[in-house]
């Protein structure tokens, strides 16, 4: 009985840790492929515990088999930790080259914070459901996270992700609070969702929210000439579009986590496997195929808006992203660099889509630290 239980524990450890290197075949298993690499230190501890249990309980061939399974699981658990130092080095090199003396130092992964969570709390005033009216008369709302102090602060306008069909402005409330605690007025905005509304409604809604920011800047404690946009996934696409169109306000910097930047190629060449049905999401967003709606696909693709004179751009993604392939981010970085636009493209080899949902995880900590330093240098 103990032999069987030991082998079962080893199999469970291997099943969990394999998602560090194996892509998810379907949406049900995608959370494993997202979460497991980001909590690698817990994985190492879990595998060590499994080895201890197997060593005590099992005997004979069962013990050998179980220890081999645990060893493979342990190797998988260590992969992100081995990859992290080089990722930090490459990120530091880019940040230093693009930001110059304004870039202080690279992020350091805080193991205590990983295990204990972020304990430091700075008072932040939150005002929810502030209304704004869109150009077609719809009423939407935004949330305001007010930085401490009565003076005007630079603003970070946050656009949520969710495949244009789900999510809301409170998706990243903890991160919004954290940015506000650092001295930014954070504006988390709404936009209308697919399938009831299609592009360019979402972009127009973000632009109308920016109009509200400009109009109420003084009342909301915002310095109107120091505005940045930040978005994740679908929100990253919208943030890049709004920043590059520079309407209705001039955006000083833009941060995009794992954004789709070339929607036509994203539709034609979806990930394999494709656990989230990327082609279906993009088709619903734009109302058809690239062949049927080439102008809409181009208008919704930040890559097609690249030109000289754009605001500094920070792109963040994971090499294991199963929704937005990393090659699109690399292509975006190359296009911006050709036009002499300032761009930093951070790539975490172990990370998948939405990796920063684990705020204290490996990628979540590093990305947050890079973002705060990028904003400090550009706003």
Residue 286 predicted with pLDDT over 60: yes
Same domain, 171 and 272: yes
Domain annotation covers residue 312: yes
Q: How far apart are the first and last CA of the chain?
A: 63
Same domain, 130 and 184: yes
Same domain, 19 and 57: yes
Report the pLDDT value the prediction gives residue 2, as an integer from 0 to 100.
Answer: 82
The sheet carrying 125-133 orders its strands as 125-133, 139-146, 185-189, 153-159, 222-232, 253-257, 313-318, 343-348
> The domain containing residue 332 runs over which residues?
107-378
Domain annotation covers residue 98: no
Residue 59 predicted with pLDDT over 70: yes
- Per-residue model confidence as pLDDT tens digits over 177-192: 999 999 999 999 999 9
| 138 vs 120, residue with greater confidence | 138
| Counts for the chain of helices (H) and strands (E), in that order | 13, 8
Domain annotation covers residue 97: no
- Per-residue model confidence as pLDDT tens digits over 112-127: 888 887 655 668 999 9
| 38 within 8 A of 348, measured Cβ to Cβ | no
Same domain, 256 and 352: yes
Domain annotation covers residue 243: yes
Domain annotation covers residue 11: yes
Percent of the chain past pLDDT 90, that is, above it, reads: 85
Choose among 180, 189, 182, 190: nearest CA to 126: 180
Report the pLDDT value the prediction gives residue 58, as an integer from 0 to 100.
Answer: 79
Residue 150 predicted with pLDDT over 80: no
Domain boundary among 50, 83, 116: 83
Interatomic CA distance for residues 153 and 149, integer angstroms: 9
Choose among 315, 193, 323, 295: nearest CA to 243: 315
Report the pLDDT value the prediction gives residue 119, as an integer from 0 to 100.
Answer: 55
Report the pLDDT value the prediction gives residue 121, as an integer from 0 to 100.
Answer: 66
Residue 102 predicted with pLDDT over 80: no
Same domain, 49 and 169: no
Report the pLDDT value the prediction gives residue 106, as an integer from 0 to 100.
Answer: 63
Report the pLDDT value the prediction gives residue 262, as an integer from 0 to 100.
Answer: 98
Same domain, 204 and 257: yes
Interatomic CA distance for residues 243 and 240, integer angstroms: 5
Which pair of tokens denotes residue 37? Answer: 């690499």
- Per-residue model confidence as pLDDT tens digits over 340-351: 999 999 999 999
Same domain, 119 and 252: yes
Same domain, 79 and 121: no
Buried b (16+ CB within 10 A) or exposed e, 143-160: bbbbbeeeebbbbbbbbb
How many folded domains does the chain comprise?
2
Among the listed ranges 78-87, 145-154, 208-217, 252-261, which one has the minimum average pLDDT value? 145-154
How far out from the chain centre does Cα 198 lie? 23
Among the listed ranges 66-75, 142-151, 273-282, 357-366, which one has the minimum average pLDDT value? 142-151
Residue 38 predicted with pLDDT over 60: yes
Domain annotation covers residue 101: no
Same domain, 76 and 213: no
Residue 107 predicted with pLDDT over 80: no
Same domain, 113 and 220: yes
| 2 vs 331, residue with greater confidence | 331
Domain annotation covers residue 138: yes
Interatomic CA distance for residues 97 and 117, integer angstroms: 32
Among the listed ranges 23-27, 29-33, 59-63, 280-284, which one has the minimum average pLDDT value? 59-63
Provide the pLDDT confidence category of residue 356 given band limits of 50, 70 and 90. Answer: very high
Q: What is the mean pLDDT of the chain?
A: 93
| 265 within 8 A of 327, measured Cβ to Cβ | no
- Per-residue model confidence as pLDDT tens digits over 195-229: 999 999 999 999 999 999 999 999 999 999 999 99
SS3 content of the chain, % helix, strand, coil (to 5): 50, 15, 35
Within 13 Å, how many C-alpha atoms sit on residue 34's CB side?
19
Domain boundary among 83, 117, 152: 83
Domain annotation covers residue 92: no
Query: Domain holding 312: CATH number?
Result: 3.40.50.1820
Buried b (16+ CB within 10 A) or exposed e, 37-64: bbbbbbbbebbeebbebbeebbeeebbe
Same domain, 290 and 182: yes
Same domain, 136 and 34: no
- Per-residue model confidence as pLDDT tens digits over 303-320: 999 999 999 999 999 999
């Amino acid at each position: 009985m103990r032999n069987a239980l030991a082998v079962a524990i080893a199999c469970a450890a291997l099943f969990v840790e394999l998602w560090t290197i194996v892509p998810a075949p379907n949406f049900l298993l995608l959370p494993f492929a997202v979460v497991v690499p980001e909590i690698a230190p817990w994985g190492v501890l879990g595998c060590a515990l499994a080895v201890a249990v197997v060593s005590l309980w099992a005997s004979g061939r069962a013990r050998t088999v179980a220890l081999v399974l645990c060893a493979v699981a342990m190797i998988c658990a260590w992969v992100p930790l081995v990859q992290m130092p080089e990722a930090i080095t490459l990120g530091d090199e880019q940040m230093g080259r693009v930001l110059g003396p304004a870039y202080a130092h690279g992020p350091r992964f805080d193991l205590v914070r990983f295990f204990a969570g972020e304990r430091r709390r700075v008072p932040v005033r939150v005002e929810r459901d502030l209304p704004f009216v869109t150009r077609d008369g719809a009423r939407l709302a935004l949330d305001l996270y007010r930085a401490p102090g009565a003076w005007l602060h630079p603003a970070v306008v946050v656009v949520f992700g969710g495949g244009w069909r789900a999510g809301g402005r409170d998706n990243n409330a903890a991160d919004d609070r954290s940015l506000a605690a650092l001295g930014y007025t954070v504006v988390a905005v709404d936009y209308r969702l697919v399938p009831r509304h299609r592009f360019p409604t979402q972009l127009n809604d973000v632009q109308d929210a920016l109009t509200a920011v400009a109009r109420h800047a003084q009342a909301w404690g915002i310095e109107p000439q120091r505005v940045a946009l930040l978005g994740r996934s679908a929100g990253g696409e919208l943030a890049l579009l709004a920043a590059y169109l520079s309407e209705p306000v001039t955006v000083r910097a833009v941060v995009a986590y794992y954004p789709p930047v070339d929607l036509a190629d994203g539709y034609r060449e979806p990930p394999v496997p494709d656990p989230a049905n990327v082609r279906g999401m993009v088709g619903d967003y734009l109302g058809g195929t690239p062949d049927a709606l080439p102008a809409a696909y181009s208008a919704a693709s930040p890559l097609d808006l690249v030109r000289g004179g754009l605001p500094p751009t920070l792109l963040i993604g994971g090499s294991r992203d199963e929704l937005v392939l990393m090659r699109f981010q690399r292509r975006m970085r190359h296009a911006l660099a050709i036009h002499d636009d300032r761009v930093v493209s951070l790539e975490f080899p172990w990370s998948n889509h939405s990796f920063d949902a684990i705020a204290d995880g490996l990628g979540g900590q590093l990305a947050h630290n890079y973002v705060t330093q990028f904003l400090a240098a550009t706003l």
